[in-house]
Structure 1
Amino acid sequence: MSDIQDYAGTVYGGLGHLLLEFYHHKQLPVPEKLLQIQELERFDFVIWRDLLTQLQQKLQTPALGLEIANFVQPRHLGIMAYLALSCETLGEAMMRYHDYHRLVYDGSPLEVRVENDYLSIAWVDVPLNLATQLSDEIAMALMLKFVRSIMALGDIALHEVHFRYPANKHLNLYEQFFHCKVRFNQQKSVIFMHVSELAQPLRQGDQTLQKLLQQQAKALLEKLPNTAQIDHRIQQAILSGLQKNMFQIEHVAKQLHWSVRQLQRHLQKQGKTYQQRMQEIRFMLAQQYLKDDNLSLHEIALLLGYSEQSAFQRAFKQWTNRTPQQWRSEFLANADREPAFIPALEMATSNQYHI
């Protein structure tokens, strides 16, 4: 486990080539760090973030990520781009992007949902201490710019684009690029489009080639360290610890065969402390337990590792601004009125999404 204890994600080497071409276009002196990564198949996301920040400080250009994205070519995105090129519809390309986006950047999951006739593509779980406005906007702009280049008819009609960063005075540049309403200060960075857009045809489709490319992509994906699996193991260790009343960081680290410092550093790269992660899991469990009206609040408090019911009630009030009993009553009252909602991307053989 020591080889991935500090794993924070990597990006495809082609993005380094893209940045180098942008430097040449601007006739700027190339940083030594950018030259050093030109022969690498992948490099650390932190290096990518630092190179972007350095360029931003040098140029002081608004919406720089959108400008860089204008230079994107298939070679910069690797097999992910060639998979998209082999697809017949936008929906099929989005499905492939969802499945294999980690080949471009493998540091966080991509959240794709369908709700109220809109498809949302969100970049989530990138710690705020690692990501920047520029790294978020270039990830979104690269995907959109490339897909636009392979559309058979017209453009993608986006509904809205959200960024989780403060608004700036250059909103018009973002709305000109995305051709839709752009909002800042949102919960996460998301692209929204109507599901009808997914039926749009692409210029060229080759199902035989796509099958071969998928085999290659799967083989590449298996080589990447899977942070999601690591986080799942941490969650399971905390869950097990709560059940045994041995949920202190020392016990959880021991279950993972890590040192306390290794566990702390892994969580730190996600912008969290161990206490915050444990409280997140407690909150998740508390909601599940409260849905079962056979469990008393005293029993739930014990299941969550609290010595007293009052301590659980105080914690829950901090999480939700409601008491556990108020939350339970509201849930039971609204249980029959919750809207249906697709947590992941699905596609039928006709290339239409199930809703």
Structure 2
Amino acid sequence: MSQLKNYTGSVFGGLGHLLKAYCEAKHIPIPEQLQRIQNQERFDYVIWRDLLEDLNRIQPTTALGLEIATYVQPKHLGIIAYLALSCENLGEALARYHDFHRLIYDGSPLIVEFDHPYASIRWEAPEPHPTQLTDEIAIALMVQFLKLFMSGEQIHLHEVHFVNIAPKNTHIYEQYFHCKVRFDQPKTQLLLPVSEAFKPLKTGDHTLQQLLLQQAQALLEKLPNSTQLDQRLQHAILTGLQKNQYQIDCIAEKLGLSVRQLQRHLQQQDTTFQARVQQVRFMLATEYLKNPHLSLQEIALLLCYSEQSAFQRAFKLWAGKTPQQWRKNNIIYNL
């Protein structure tokens, strides 16, 4: 995926909000450098590493990375949180994380290998000057990401490995991960039983999903003769865009219709399938643009555009202004 090359050595700006949320919860004075990176789309990985070390100096905490990770919310994870909304099980969410992890946390390449009965999830090449803190927060963030979308069930890890020497208190790590944690190992990795991949994820009660569906419903109310089929169509396009399965044949199949039947219905509504797709894309675009950390490239990817320029042209047709101009007037900083 060539578009990921631009992100080498940086992390998603939402992680800066995560650190700020942790500081506020713990009543820690917010470091000046942390304040400066608020609302940046991305910032250097070295700054991320230094901020973690600064926080540990300000208030020394055993397993600080694990504690920070407990405060993570979907809004801190950006694009993969949006994509995870369409995942049906843990394995699919893990695949999404693998494909897009560098957009969130670009310290080392993430490798996922299956060696029955376990899946090995590890960071292949350590970043310059790896620390226990950067390693543990990388693993903890991934585990918390998966937990955020679980449907009530717990994730059962087999083991977690760290390359660093064991700290004095290893119990806190085993208590956090609920499994055996080994230190001074050849690789930083977690071992997940393959059977865990089939555990279902929740999507219907997710806050963002509900917000998007409410907006989709608001669009439907503008139609002169909205039907139950229109509601199902709107939802199918919404979720189809998240999976890059929004073409008319895919959507018709989801609705149990032939392509011709769907086209005939849309003709009766005095619209076309392409117009409905663009309507949903515009709705999603305005929601994504309110997040200051999502780059235009990432938003284009979320909307299934192969090029950022194509998204920008389409948005100007929809809104009469560029995405940058729209964002300047509508951005939400309190994420």
Q: TM-score, normalised by structure 1?
A: 0.57
**Aligned partner letter, 1:136:** D
CA distance in 1, matches of 2:114, 2:93: 16
Q: 1:36 to 1:86 in 2, by over 3 A?
A: same
Three-state SS of the structure 1 residue aligned to 2:113 is strand
Q: Give yes or no for the alignment of 1:39 onto 2:68.
A: no
Q: Is the 8 A contact 2:22 2:71 kept in 1?
A: yes
CA distance in 1, matches of 2:116, 2:154: 22
How much has 1:177 moved relative to structure 2?
Answer: 0.5
Question: Unaligned regions of 5+ residues in structure 2, if any?
Answer: 1-5, 205-234, 245-296, 308-335
Three-state SS of the structure 2 residue aligned to 1:158 is coil
How much has 1:213 moved relative to structure 2?
Answer: 3.5
How much has 1:125 moved relative to structure 2?
Answer: 1.2
Three-state SS of the structure 1 residue aligned to 2:203 is coil
CA deviations 1:5-56 (Å, max 9, x no partner) are x985100000000001111111111111101100200000000000000111
Matched with 2:241 is 212
Alignment of 1:163-242 (within 5 A): 163-204=162-203, 208-209=237-238, 211-213=240-242, 217=298, 219=300
How much has 1:151 moved relative to structure 2?
Answer: 1.1
CA deviations 1:48-98 (Å, max 9, x no partner) are 000000111111110011111110100000111121232110011011111
Q: 1:208 to 1:69 in 2, by over 3 A?
A: farther
How much has 1:108 moved relative to structure 2?
Answer: 2.6
Matched with 1:14 is 14
**Aligned partner letter, 2:242:** L
Q: Is the 8 A contact 2:7 2:102 kept in 1?
A: no
Matched with 1:155 is 154
CA distance in 2, matches of 1:126, 1:198: 26
How much has 1:208 moved relative to structure 2?
Answer: 5.0
CA deviations 1:159-196 (Å, max 9, x no partner) are 00001111012111000110000000011210111111
CA distance in 2, matches of 1:175, 1:128: 27
Three-state SS of the structure 1 residue aligned to 2:158 is strand
Q: Is the 8 A contact 1:161 1:191 kept in 2?
A: yes
Q: Give yes or no for the alignment of 1:101 onto 2:108.
A: no
Three-state SS of the structure 2 residue aligned to 1:142 is helix
Q: Is the 8 A contact 2:158 2:193 kept in 1?
A: yes
Matched with 1:59 is 59
Q: Is the 8 A contact 1:90 1:198 kept in 2?
A: yes
Matched with 1:290 is none
Matched with 1:86 is 86
The answer to which structure, 1 or 2, has the higher relative contact order (CA under 8 A, 6+ apart) is: 1
Q: 1:207 to 1:55 in 2, by over 3 A?
A: farther
Matched with 1:71 is 71
Question: Unaligned regions of 5+ residues in structure 1, if any?
Answer: 1-5, 224-355
How much has 1:211 moved relative to structure 2?
Answer: 4.3
CA distance in 2, matches of 1:28, 1:107: 26
CA distance in 1, matches of 2:160, 2:102: 21
CA distance in 2, matches of 1:166, 1:72: 26
How much has 1:116 moved relative to structure 2?
Answer: 2.8
Q: TM-score, normalised by structure 2?
A: 0.60
Q: 1:209 to 1:87 in 2, by over 3 A?
A: farther
